[in-house]
Amino acid sequence: MSEKIVIIGGVAAGPKVAARARRLSPQAEITIVERGRLISYAGCGIPFYLSGQIKDYNELFTTPYGVKRDEQFFLTERDIRVLTGTEATAVDRRKKEVTVVDLNTGKESVLPYDKLVLATGSVPVEPPFAGINLKGVHRLNHPEDVRKIMEEIEQVGDVVVIGAGMIGMEAVDALARRNIFVTVVELQEQILPGMLDADLAAVLKARLEERGVEFRLGEKVRRLEGDEAGRVKQVVTDGGALDADLVIIAVGVRPNVELAKAAGLAIGETGAISVNEYLQTSDPDIYALGDCVENLHLVSRRKVYIPLASTAARQGRVAGDNVVGGKSKFPGVLGTVIVKLMNQNAGRTGLGEEQARAAGFAVSVTTIGSFDRTHYYPEKGRILLKLITEAGTGRILGAQALGEGDVVKRIDVLACAITSGANVEDLANLDLGYAPPFNTPIDPLQHGVNTVRNKMQGIAKGINAAELQAKLAGGDDFVLLDVRTQPQYRAQHIEDERTLLIPIGELRERIGEIPRDREIVVLCAIGSRSYEAQRILEGAGLKNIRFLEGGLLGWPYELD
């Protein structure tokens, strides 16, 4: 008798399990149960349809070779039965049966299983304030959400996005590409709080503000107000009222675990379903994966809830192996994520700075600025790279990067390094590819790890932007030595009476102008010249010198 595999959830993770299981077991009876009408859609492509970069809505549902992924596709190409518009309402673990209801007819039936897979995903968090049911108030979690927004997009002027996480910020990018003015309201004091540390988030915020986005951070939404027709007109926060013709709510998601709870399956400390390395729940015949499960973080070794499509896809192969008798393992996650916002690329992998400290590591932080390709190549872009390492060992714990240049390949290489337990010595010796259209002779991440090595040896002595800003605001007695050229200084600089401008090419001959009895902070555009200046000054016998890591590229504060 062929094995019966029932999969609850037909968006991303479930179809991946089904496809893998079918390839390994041609005789298995595989059924996918999906509450909605749409299956196997490209949820990550929704913002790009909103922006107009994807022209055809149907592309969100097609294979790379142009065939729509619907019930007929799965039946004819995969021999997989898909029941859409069908809700799984109960799991009887003793009988190994799933009760399902046809949402059109209300008819109830039972599906027997040998192996059951829960791919129930996540659901949007419902905010507690009034007015969320007004016309013009939307989410951006489902293809139908974007269709509703697109019906109104030509008539709106002011848009408010509530939530500055990944979904919210991708909505901002999409709307900005349509030249729509957007204000972002975020309860926390930074954008992308689950992705970037506060320092890089501040830099990204400043760059997006330059392109017309307005942010209201650290503000709590009190209510949404509508007009006589029941359409939203204002977002009221504890900081005031904002006009809004359209509102997108993107305040996060939570794991959909109701069915698992009702079946008596173990729920983990994060509130998501607990699974082992084989993706088995507390019932060995029931597997779970994707946005409804928690995972082990490979660095902290703690349980985390980081819902990502890439994780769901990788887990789909593992669960697909195991429901047909395999023993594949899913070891855990680093939370590697990347995003493009207007002209800025951003990414992270591993632990953030405070996460690493909370996990008990002795942390060292290094930030560098660089070009992603040779400075003379016309398509070069700047990037800011932050490395979180273990003090003493140089082990890579995490990394973040942003800029108009290529940050993705640096993040991906660092994800490999963290997974393999590499330290800065290992990374410095990687044989990476170079040609002017792709890289600099020494990759920016290797500049970064070399800076870490220099700091470990006591050669490089850095200060970050927040520390320097505190010194400036606090009236500290120090010298702010700017070693850029006169034209660069005139174009943009920190206006402060403690500033001394000496271009690095003149530094040796003018070294007598620098006080020897005061602290010196050196700055330049990206940090390389200021580090050179630090070494020159120390070679001349001066003490207490630090350089601004990342230079003005990583400066999120006002410049003159």
86 and 141, same domain (yes or no):
no
502 and 435, same domain (yes or no):
no
Active site residue 416: no
- CA–CA dist 124, 256 (Å, integer): 9
Boundary-marking domain end, from 251, 276, 291 = 251
Tally of domains in the chain? 4
- Average pLDDT of the chain to the nearest whole number: 96
The verdict on residue 20 lying in a domain is yes
The verdict on residue 131 lying in a domain is no
- Terminal-residue alpha carbon distance, the chain: 77
17 and 117, same domain (yes or no):
yes
The verdict on residue 164 lying in a domain is yes
- Of the pLDDT bands very low, low, confident and very high (cuts 50, 70, 90), residue 354 is very high
58 and 89, same domain (yes or no):
yes
Average pLDDT over residues 2-8: 94
52 and 142, same domain (yes or no):
no
The verdict on residue 335 lying in a domain is no
Q: Which pLDDT tens digit goes with each residue over 195-247?
A: 999 999 999 999 999 999 999 999 999 999 999 999 999 999 999 999 999 99
246 and 143, same domain (yes or no):
yes
260 and 116, same domain (yes or no):
yes
354 and 494, same domain (yes or no):
no
Q: Which pLDDT tens digit goes with each residue over 117-166?
A: 999 999 999 999 999 999 999 999 999 999 999 999 988 889 999 999 99
Helices 198-210, 465-474: inter-axial angle, 10-degree rounding:
80
Q: Which pLDDT tens digit goes with each residue over 25-73?
A: 999 999 999 999 999 999 999 999 999 999 999 999 999 999 999 999 9
Unique residue bearing structure tokens 């398509």: 379
Give the phi and the psi of residue 5 in degrees, each rounded to 5: -115, 120
The verdict on residue 229 lying in a domain is yes
348 and 277, same domain (yes or no):
no
The domain of 279 spans: 4-122+254-322
Give the phi and the psi of residue 264 in degrees, each rounded to 5: 80, 20
191 and 245, same domain (yes or no):
yes
97: Cβ contacts below 8 Å, ≥ 6 apart: 91, 110, 111, 112, 113
- Of the pLDDT bands very low, low, confident and very high (cuts 50, 70, 90), residue 1 is low
Residue of 156, 116, 118 whose CA lies nearest to 30: 116
- What CATH number does the domain containing 80 carry? 3.50.50.60
402 and 478, same domain (yes or no):
no
Residue of 452, 342, 469 whose CA lies nearest to 398: 452
The verdict on residue 334 lying in a domain is no
CB 189 within 8 A of CB 199: no
The verdict on residue 127 lying in a domain is no
The kind and range of the H/E element at 31 are: strand 29-33
Boundary-marking domain end, from 392, 427, 456 = 456
Helices 309-322, 13-24: inter-axial angle, 10-degree rounding:
30
The active-site residue out of 44, 292, 416, 524 is 44
Q: Which pLDDT tens digit goes with each residue over 377-415?
A: 999 999 999 999 999 999 999 999 999 999 999 999 999
Boundary-marking domain end, from 405, 434, 456 = 456
291 and 397, same domain (yes or no):
no
The verdict on residue 560 lying in a domain is no
